[in-house]
Structure 1
């Protein structure tokens, strides 16, 4: 990967539908050279795919919460993944340092459905309790650079 590849990736992050000619004009390459580089980045697994990001509120998932998950005893990351993967409202989760065992990002259509999803998480074996924070306003939302 060189600076041209990084430039192409940055432009695709901003607009995955950008034309090769437009990208080329920005990075100083021809459209065909950009296409060859994009094809190589895909083949090498650097670019994993192209996607559409839809406003979660439009999808009916306007309620958002971050949940700290506390377990009884020692629970493996694989077990936490198994538990959380059964709850469709979980959109992201990771093990963390500190007193919580994991942080879980959840989205639901409303507070009652969020509460139901939280109950499914709380009722899982090895889960002791949760601590939730409901998002009131989104301040920054961007994809990793």
Structure 2
């Protein structure tokens, strides 16, 4: 399907994350990112000591990385099962012909239980990852919220039966960034 002004994909650019050109990282930036990914609570003074630079240098580097969109925030990683949201559900969604996929994506994104909304290639249009307490809650969300979003033609629900433990994804990937340089 092509994304001309009348297509169901014409507005995707308005809701999708912006594609970014890679940012040039030097060795200090990369080392700083590795420290923050390992523990974002590490103080600037501790980072400065580890990197052999001054604390103001660390502050300036962090500010520059934030301004340039490399660092997008600092957050805690939550074990969702520990707070009652242990069931992972994947939904594949097919949009009805002529419906605006961007509007469907926005509607899904507004749901608190939805972690990811991804436009994909192939026979379906969207892949959604969400967390629910149990199958009763899933049923309610499907029937009262998701299936009421205009333009959803078909869904397929995939239930997670086992997951690998959460990993520090960024730490492994930053090692590959270093190898590419």
Is 2:88 the partner of 1:64? yes
Contact kept? 1:8, 1:23, Cα under 8 Å: yes
Contact kept? 1:61, 1:109, Cα under 8 Å: yes
Q: Which runs of 5+ in 1 are unaligned?
A: none
Which consecutive segments of 4 or more residues in structure 1 shift more than 6 A? none
- Pairwise CA RMSD of aligned residues? 2.0
1:105 to 99, 109, 129: 129
Alpha-carbon deviation of 1:4?
0.9
Name the structure 1 match of 2:160.
135
Is the partner of 2:140 in helix, strand or coil? Answer: helix
Is 2:150 the partner of 1:125? yes
Contact kept? 2:119, 2:127, Cα under 8 Å: yes
Question: So what's the TM-score if we normalise by structure 1?
Answer: 0.85
Aligned positions, number: 145
2:100 to 64, 70, 76: 76
Alpha-carbon deviation of 1:140?
5.0
Q: Distance in 2 between matches of 1:44 and 1:98?
A: 33
Is the partner of 1:136 in helix, strand or coil? Answer: coil
Is the partner of 1:58 in helix, strand or coil? Answer: helix
Contact kept? 1:64, 1:108, Cα under 8 Å: yes
Q: Greater shift after overlay, 114-123 or 2-11?
A: 114-123
Contact kept? 1:63, 1:114, Cα under 8 Å: no
Contact kept? 1:83, 1:124, Cα under 8 Å: yes
Q: Name whichever structure is richer in strand by fraction.
A: 1
Residues 68-97 of structure 1, C-alpha deviations (whole Å, 9 max, x = no match): 111221433321223213432212111100
Is the partner of 2:161 in helix, strand or coil? Answer: coil
